[in-house]
Amino acid sequence: MKVILFDLDGTLIDSTEAILEGFRVTFEKFNKPYPGDREIKKLIGLPLEIMFFKLGIDENVDQYVNTYKMHYRKISTQKTKLLPTSKEAVIEAKKFARLGIVTTKTARYSKELLEHFGLMDYFEVLIGREDVENPKPHPEPVLKAIYLMKANKQNAFMVGDTCLDVLSAKEAGVRAIGVRWEYDENLKKCTEIIKENVLEAVEFIKNF
């Protein structure tokens, strides 16, 4: 049976509003100038600690991450929405494949979001930032999902919207399918297989 691993942000969900607000509140609390929405969006998909570092925070990064997480959790379900076709795609994928989530978001918050949208029961595993030592683009998250599912990676696919997803999959020996989203303008440099949305990606996998 096929296995499909999905990224979250920019693939199944749009939490841009919540992410930007989380960063604005955090920078304000520490009396630091907010870098701007555009700069934040460029980094979405990376682990929080790396995002803050790239935004110029090189001391007490853990405090920034914790402040962000505390605020994000308060607003995440209200300010996150499913991307168009996401629910339809998951339901369709479940008909012919086993499903998992591989994200750099915190697994606990990711589960809360998926439960909020009524989708968590479709997935056998969810690998979040705290579940691995090396996040995407390292292959560890993809390999761990495959291992926990006792699956064959030759039958596995990773669907994501950034080069982080594609590179992680390729390094793990898993086929990667890109979906278009604003977070990664360089996606076409990482993979030739890019679909307009996650439902198109699922249909491609079904017919592969």
Q: Report the DSSP beta bridge partners of residue 9.
A: 13
What is the chain's length? 208
Backbone angles phi, psi at 72, to 5 degrees: -55, -40
Q: What share of the chain is helix, strand, coil (3-state, %, to 5)?
A: 50, 15, 35
Mark whether 62 is an active-site residue. Answer: no
CA distance 140 to 195: 25
Q: Please pick, among 7, 9, 14, 131, the residue that the annotation labels catalytic.
A: 7
For residue 136, give Cα distances in angstroms to 47, 54, 132, 141: 8, 16, 10, 7
H or E stretch including 156?
A: strand 156-160
CA distance 22 to 29: 11
As annotated, the active-site residues are 7
